């Protein structure tokens, strides 16, 4: 995965301050180096900001567990596969063995014991807080929304395989689908639908990266919300790796470095949106999905 040099420099310094001993990457290893754990991570998100943060969390957990579990190599696998193929690769645990994603994100046909979920939420519920991105010439229209009945008059744009779609169906909120965030921004620009809901942790950066900030805007005073926790999930074929990452996350929680990393990326979001009207969506019906 390619991440800017400035970002990596800042990220390494942050981990050192947080208590990490050192960073180990694939490039730093001799060709025949033997390491206890080879971690192949695919961040299960489409936004650059989430990918950076969630990858940094995995790296922090690996460093926090280094004294107990030994060295590691960390490989970023950023090929965009379908959800079904990603699920298969994770189940096999060879080409990919770790993902950061909402618990609903993977193939619902996945066997219950195919993955080990480390139930420490990475985003503190903020992915489920969805800001509405709209055309600027319709901003005032959306700023008047006060309830879900009014929101149902408009059509959302969602990824074709997003788990969010289940919540929109459950709450009778109409939507169209697209294949990527870039396509969805373009569809909104051309009025194929009315609003594009993105997580609080990614809406601003995604809009800035879209190149359409002159034409589109975020509705600052209204959000919708539904439960969409993001977890580290590990192939069941890698039980020691799952133990390592859980231990590392627990250590990072205990010493405050996990919170420090979150604050570095997202610390001001709650403050900036504390006065927004939040419209909670009804949760999914029991049995309509399985918690991994």
Chain segment 66-78, per-residue pLDDT in tens:
999 999 999 988 7
Measure CA of the first residue to CA of the last residue in the chain; give whole Å: 26
**Is residue 286 one of the residues assigned to a domain?**
no
Q: Which pLDDT does position 7 carry in this prediction?
A: 39
Q: Which pLDDT does position 45 carry in this prediction?
A: 65
**For tokens 């870039």, what's the residue?**
182
**Is residue 285 one of the residues assigned to a domain?**
no
Rounded distance, CA 224 to CA 86, Å?
A: 28
Query: Could you tell me if 112 and 257 lie in one domain?
Result: yes
Query: Could you tell me if 17 and 58 lie in one domain?
Result: yes
Q: Which pLDDT does position 43 carry in this prediction?
A: 72
Query: Could you tell me if 119 and 9 lie in one domain?
Result: yes
List the domain range (segments joined by +) for residue 144: 129-227+273-280
Burial class (CB in 10 A: 0-12, 13-18, 19+), 112: exposed
- CATH number for 53: 3.40.190.10
Query: Could you tell me if 85 and 185 lie in one domain?
Result: no
β-partners of residue 231 are: 101
Q: Which pLDDT does position 18 carry in this prediction?
A: 39
Query: Could you tell me if 26 and 148 lie in one domain?
Result: no
CB 170 within 8 A of CB 282: yes
283: nearest Cα among 175, 197, 166, 161 = 166
Query: Could you tell me if 57 and 182 lie in one domain?
Result: no
CB 87 within 8 A of CB 163: no
Query: Could you tell me if 94 and 160 lie in one domain?
Result: no
Count the domains in the chain.
Answer: 2
Q: Which pLDDT does position 107 carry in this prediction?
A: 58
**Is residue 54 one of the residues assigned to a domain?**
yes
Query: Could you tell me if 91 and 111 lie in one domain?
Result: yes
**Is residue 288 one of the residues assigned to a domain?**
no
Query: Could you tell me if 148 and 189 lie in one domain?
Result: yes
- What is the reported pTM? 0.79
Query: Could you tell me if 162 and 107 lie in one domain?
Result: no
Q: What is the mean pLDDT of each run of 10 residues along the chain (292 residues)?
A: 39 40 35 62 77 94 96 84 79 89 70 85 92 98 97 96 91 95 96 96 92 96 94 93 97 97 89 89 68 32
**Is residue 187 one of the residues assigned to a domain?**
yes
């Amino acid at each position: 995965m390619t991440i800017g040099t400035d970002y990596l420099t800042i990220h390494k310094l942050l981990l050192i301050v947080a208590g990490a001993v050192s960073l180990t990457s694939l490039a730093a290893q001799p060709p025949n180096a033997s390491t206890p754990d080879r971690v192949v991570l695919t961040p299960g998100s489409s936004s650059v900001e989430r990918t950076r943060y969630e990858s940094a969390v995995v790296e922090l957990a690996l460093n926090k567990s280094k004294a107990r579990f030994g060295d590691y190599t960390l490989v970023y696998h950023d090929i965009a596969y379908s959800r079904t193929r990603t699920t298969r690769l994770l189940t096999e645990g060879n080409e990919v063995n770790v993902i950061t994603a909402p618990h609903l994100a993977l193939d619902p046909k996945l066997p219950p014991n195919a993955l080990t979920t480390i139930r420490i939420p990475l985003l503190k519920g903020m992915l489920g807080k969805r800001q509405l991105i709209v055309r600027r010439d319709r901003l005032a229209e959306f700023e008047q929304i006060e309830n879900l009945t009014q929101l149902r008059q408009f059509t959302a744009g969602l990824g074709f395989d997003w788990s969010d779609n289940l919540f929109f169906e459950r709450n009778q909120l109409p939507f169209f689908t697209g294949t990527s965030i870039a396509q969805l921004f373009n569809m909104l620009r051309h009025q194929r639908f009315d609003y594009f809901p993105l997580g609080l942790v990614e809406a601003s950066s995604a809009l800035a990266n879209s190149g359409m900030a002159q034409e589109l805007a975020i509705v600052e005073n209204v959000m919708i919300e539904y439960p969409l926790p993001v977890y580290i999930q590990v192939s069941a074929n890698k039980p020691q790796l799952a133990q390592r990452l859980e231990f590392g996350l627990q250590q990072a929680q205990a010493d405050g470095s996990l919170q420090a990393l979150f604050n570095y990326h997202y610390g001001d979001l709650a403050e900036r949106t504390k006065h927004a009207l939040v419209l909670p969506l009804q949760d999914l019906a029991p049995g309509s999905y399985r918690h991994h």
